[in-house]
Amino acid sequence: MAEFKELSPNASLSAKTVNWFENRFPTAFAAYRVHMSEYYAPKNFNFWYIFGSLALLVLVIQIVTGIFLVMHYKPDAEKAFASVEYIMRDVPWGWLIRYMHSTGASAFFIVVYLHMFRGLLYGSYRKPRELVWIFGCAIFLCLMAEAFMGYLLPWGQMSYWGAQVIVNLFAAIPGIGPDLALLIRGDYVVSDATLNRFFSFHVIAVPLVLLGLVVAHLLALHDVGSNNPDGIEIKGKGRPVDDKGHPLDGIPFHPYYTVHDIFGVAVFLFVFSAVVFFAPEMGGYFLEFNNFIPADPMVTPAHIAPVWYFTPFYSMLRAITTEMMTAVSLVVVLAVAFMWVKARLPVLAKVLVSAACLVALVLFGAFSFTGIAALAGIDAKFWGVVVMGGAVIILFFLPWLDCSEARSIRYRPTWHKYLYAVFVVNFVVLAYLGVQPPSPVGERVSQVGTFFYFGFFLLMPWWSRLGKSKPVPDRVTFKPH
């Protein structure tokens, strides 16, 4: 047993209290020192580095408000909608708890999307932080599952039919699809059994996994150290340190960044409160108007669409048609043929073959090959599910796709910034198209957007090497503010 630390009899009451706890629970104080007061983070963090803390704050908001909602919610197909109405109308401050939870769901995805984009900008997924990024992507995947299962619980029209559409997608998986969809629903249609399954996962199973991943994410981050806007390591062999061994380019996380984050939290809570009190439905994007109508299996809404944070991936799902899959197949064949020709033919022949491939691709795009695709047995619905899932899974491989010399966008070729800007615009356009009714123009735009989304990542090993990077400084650049 460790020896107790003794204080002077004249020590203050607060010092004696802290010493009493530290002597009996030293592990907690050691963890505080390792992860807060003695954890040195780069001193040049900027605005983009507050979203990780905000995500943790929103997670706490969701857990606390969820606990109070569960006290009054009934996971029963006959009573679920009425119990939500009871919370909104009769439970003291129930409307506030419900709006905080529904707004918190959207806020969670907003801060997580921004947090992931910051990692993309500054190369926070690069060595040695691959595992930090993988844990973060797993959190994102888990968060999507949590949001989808919670979306069914109000048992409104959009909840019911949205779940019906998404669960039916699993039936498109060859072989195991129908049985898998039946297992998820617990019935042949979305029913009381589905509601109970989703309630159990939403309240118990998924939050436990989510909390475990958050802890793993933070521990992995503090083991390898935080990245910074310059993408320069502040710790390790050859890095400047003071006489105590602390990095000269770092500062203690507490109190410097705790105060920094408190300011960000104050601004966030101001905006969050404004939405909760004045626009909790956010024009139908946070809470769809159809969800204020009880679920009716006999009445299908005119347009079924998921919540806004799923719409980019839903748009990719709808973009996959038989015609598009045939085009993708031809592109793959032409790409393989081009690579083979490039390796074997002289320069003039390469030019001629490349031109022929380009002409063939243009001609192919002008015609529909639906019949050929049908003969080939291509199932567009199945491939749509693959594309929707692949759009998330591909993020896990980002550390090995990026081959740029410079880690941070600050020192990459200037045109990389424009490419990232186009990627963001493309993602927003896909999100917008996902909430709109299907149309021929929207289908074409979403197909182009899907091509660009996957091309951005799959071609990254090639385009990330292009251009000349700017010189990376030896020390982090820092301007006091």
* 131 or 8, which is more confident: 131
Q: Binding residue per annotation — 101?
A: yes
Which two structure tokens, joined as six digits, stand for 187?
Answer: 């019935």
Taking the C-alpha atoms of residue 318 and residue 315, their distance in angstroms, rounded to an integer, is: 5
Min mean pLDDT across 80-84, 134-138, 435-439 is at 435-439
pLDDT over 70 (residue 464): yes
pLDDT at 271: 97
Region of 4 (left: φ > 0; alpha: ψ -120 to 50; beta: rest) is: beta
Min mean pLDDT across 260-264, 349-353, 373-377 is at 373-377
Which two structure tokens, joined as six digits, stand for 135?
Answer: 């844990």
Contact 226, 250 (CB under 8 A): no
Q: What is the DSSP letter of 459?
A: T
Q: Where are the beta strands (DSSP E) in 201-296?
A: 250-252
Taking the C-alpha atoms of residue 120 and residue 118, their distance in angstroms, rounded to an integer, is: 5
pLDDT in tens, 153-173: 999 999 999 899 889 888 888
Q: Band of the pLDDT at 341, cuts 50, 70, 90?
A: low
Among candidates 311, 124, 142, which has minimal Cα distance to 213?
Answer: 142
Taking the C-alpha atoms of residue 187 and residue 168, their distance in angstroms, rounded to an integer, is: 12
Mean pLDDT of the region 249-264: 90
Strands 40-42 and 250-252: antiparallel
What the chain holds in terms of domains, given with CATH numbers, is 31-304 (1.20.810.10), 311-467 (no CATH)
Taking the C-alpha atoms of residue 66 and residue 69, their distance in angstroms, rounded to an integer, is: 5
Contact 221, 39 (CB under 8 A): no
DSSP string, 247-295: BTTEEEIIIIIHHHHHHHHHHHHHHHHHHHHH-TTGGGTSS-GGGGSB-
Terminal C-alpha separation, the chain:
47
Which two structure tokens, joined as six digits, stand for 464?
Answer: 């990330």
Q: Band of the pLDDT at 376, cuts 50, 70, 90?
A: very low
pLDDT in tens, 66-103: 999 999 999 999 999 999 999 999 999 999 999 999 99
Q: What is the DSSP letter of 156?
A: B
Mean pLDDT of the region 220-235: 92
pLDDT at 382: 82
Q: Binding residue per annotation — 217?
A: yes
Q: Binding residue per annotation — 254?
A: no
pLDDT at 371: 39
The dihedrals phi and psi of 252, each to the nearest 5 degrees, come to -60, 140
Query: What contacts 30, CB < 8 A, 6 or more positions away?
Result: none
pLDDT at 338: 65
Among candidates 381, 408, 397, which has minimal Cα distance to 318?
Answer: 381
